[in-house]
Amino acid sequence: MPGLKPTAASNAARMERRIVPWGAGNVATFPSEGGLRGCALGKDKAGRAPRHCEPIYIIVGIDPGIKTGYAVLDLKGALLASGCVKEASDEKMVEIISHVGVPVLVASDTHPPSHFVQKIAARLNVRVFSPRESLKKTEKREMGSEIADVHIRDAYAAAVKAYRKYQNCLRQIDAMSPPDAEELKRMVIMGHRIAERLGTRHCGILI
């Protein structure tokens, strides 16, 4: 898919096939241990994650409705998780999202974003991405051509659109290979300046 890393399409298809039943009428996938990276040993008896674990920062697309679709991308544009939850509350969606990673942006496929999307973003203490114009059905079908469920596809398109806004800068950070690349990318998306930390002036308007 244009604008995504080469494996994103295959990841989308693979995650679509991996969606499994979760409660009555719901489906969900949880690929990580509480949104942490490098936690093969799991948590200790007190439920604490090892100190060496790194947070997995994510962009979350939400398509609200009777069935709420969601799609989660990492900051390289790869699909990490997706699902569809019947009659989901904002509390339930926050719980699901928090199992996948640490959100830095919540995305909507409509302009303006729905109150439900704004409510989830507020609970997660992150900004909302909304396109200048609501995404057309043809555009969403093109972005998520390998995703069968329309709610998940719309959520995926919202997340991809949000990712593409920052794509060039995120890739520049990766190309520089700083030790704290993921943290720098989180700062960029959340609107913080990073020029001083990089000692350069990449990503122009964002730093």
Tokens read off for 41: 């040993």
Q: How far apart are the first and last CA of the chain?
A: 27
Most confident of 50-59, 101-110, 186-195: 101-110
Residue 138: strand, helix, or coil: helix
Tokens read off for 3: 């604008």
> pTM of the prediction?
0.75
Considering just the CA atoms, what is the radius of gyration of the chain in Å?
17
By the 8 A CB rule, do 79 and 70 touch?
A: no
By the 8 A CB rule, do 16 and 146 touch?
A: yes
Residue 183: strand, helix, or coil: helix
Other beta carbons less than 10 A from residue 193's beta carbon: 12
In this prediction, residue 34 carries a pLDDT of 57
Tell me: the pLDDT tens digits for 149-178?
A: 999 999 999 999 999 999 999 999 999 998
In this prediction, residue 161 carries a pLDDT of 98
Domains and CATH numbers, the chain: 8-37+52-165 (3.30.420.140)
